[in-house]
Structure 1
Amino acid sequence: MFETARAILRQDPAAYSVPQVIFTYPGVQALFWHRIAHYFAQHRHPFLASFVRRHSEHRTGISIAPQAQVGKRVFIDHGMGTVIGETAIIEDDVVLLQGVTLGSRHIEDTGRRHPHIKSGAYIGANAQILGPVTIGKFSKIGAGAVVLKDVPDHATAVGSPARIIEK
């Protein structure tokens, strides 16, 4: 948690201290509760995992499925309305703004149903990334984009449906 707070302190000009980030940033709090819920999910305690998740959702407005894999130094900025599905994978140093959805497209799918966000990606406000797509390293997804296909490394995707505008 301290590593995440220090990373946020470097990125966010509104942050002025590690305690401020830890105690007042809902994204940091949601990730703290997620790590506990994830532990319970991994150790076959689904009720406890769900209970912790619901507590976190109520406190922060951010919904992270206990089974989702979340890396280090992930920054969920102004996270209200952010939803992360159960087979989602978020690698290290990713930024998610408010209202981002990492969701599935088809209920009948088996295996991976949610996105894989690679290291250093930046996902704009209210972006919807749906299905088992991969967002490449250091890619940027514009605000309000609806991503239904893979985005390569170092690319920028915008629009609905999203299209690559630069690589």
Structure 2
Amino acid sequence: MNKRKISFMYLKKMPGTDGNRYNMREVSPYGLSLVQENWVLIARCDMRQDIRHFRLSRMTELSVLEDQFLLPSGFDLNSHRPPDDRNEQILIRAKPEIADKIMEAIHFYMDAFEEQEEGVIFHFRVRYPEEILHYLLGWGGDIEVLEPESLRFRMQEVAKKHLKTLLTYTCQ
């Protein structure tokens, strides 16, 4: 059965090299799936020439196009799993009293955890460290980034910037 392509403006999670987070996509929609409490469109993207996942909450300006497509024979939405491209390793130490919050908030990224005398060590895998930066910053002094060093420095930069902003507003 022939199906019709759609187009939409998509808000990417991270900005591109030009700083822009928006781009127009034309896709062949294969189906919808509920992933981690978010509705996701699974579709073949014309731009990327591959199957991609798009969160519906990041889509605007949706249009149904005249272009048609055929669903690939053998494609099964129920058994489709995207390739795991989370190759960056993150290692943090957390105070035991917030370990359950960490497990609940970012379990998708977690590979393992181990309870030690000095705290709970969490092993995460991400596509890029910025993906979990806001979670880590939210736990403040209750966590310590052990690896990679670049993420530890990035957290320090953001914390200094927040402190400077706070002091600026406090002193006015």
* TM-score, structure 1 as length reference: 0.26
Q: Is the strand fraction higher in 1 or 2?
A: 2
Structure of higher CA gyration radius: 2
Greater RCO, 1 or 2 (C-alpha within 8 Å, sep 6+): 2
* TM-score, structure 2 as length reference: 0.26
